[in-house]
Amino acid sequence: MTGGADDDFRPGESIVERRIRLAAEQGEFANLPGHGKPIGDLDETYDPLWWVKRWAEREGVTAAELAGLIDEWRKRD
C-alpha cells in the first residue's frame, strides 16, 4: 500500500497513538468542552473517596443520608 493512510505510521508509534495523532490533525478534538481551561482539582491531594463525594454532590445526597445508606448496606452483610 503506497500513499494511503496505512503508510502514515511513524517509527515506534502504536496503532492507538497513530489514530489519536491523525484525529488531532483532522481537528477531531477541537472545540471540546473545557478546551483551554485548567483541569479542576488537579492540585488537590488524592482522595480515594473522590467518586463518592462527587456522586453525593451530583445527586444532592447529604452526609447524614450517605451515612445512613452505608449503615444500611453494612447491616445487609
- The DSSP string of the chain is --SSGGG---TT--HHHHHHHHHHHTTTTTT-TTTTSPPTTTTSPP-TTHHHHHHHHHHT--HHHHHHHHHHHHHH-
Residues 26, 43, single domain; the answer is no
Predicted structure pTM score = 0.42
pLDDT in tens, the chain (77 residues): 444 555 677 888 999 999 999 999 999 998 888 888 888 878 888 889 888 888 989 999 898 888 888 888 888 86
Domain count, the chain: 2
pLDDT value for 2: 45
Q: Would you state the pLDDT for residue 4?
A: 52
60 and 26 assigned to the same domain: no
CA 32 – CA 24 distance, rounded (Å): 12
Q: Are residues 75 and 43 in the same domain?
A: yes
Could you tell me the residue range of the domain that residue 46 belongs to? 39-77
Give residue 21's Cα distance to chain centre.
19
Residues 11 and 27 placed together within one structural domain of the fold: yes
46 and 61 assigned to the same domain: yes
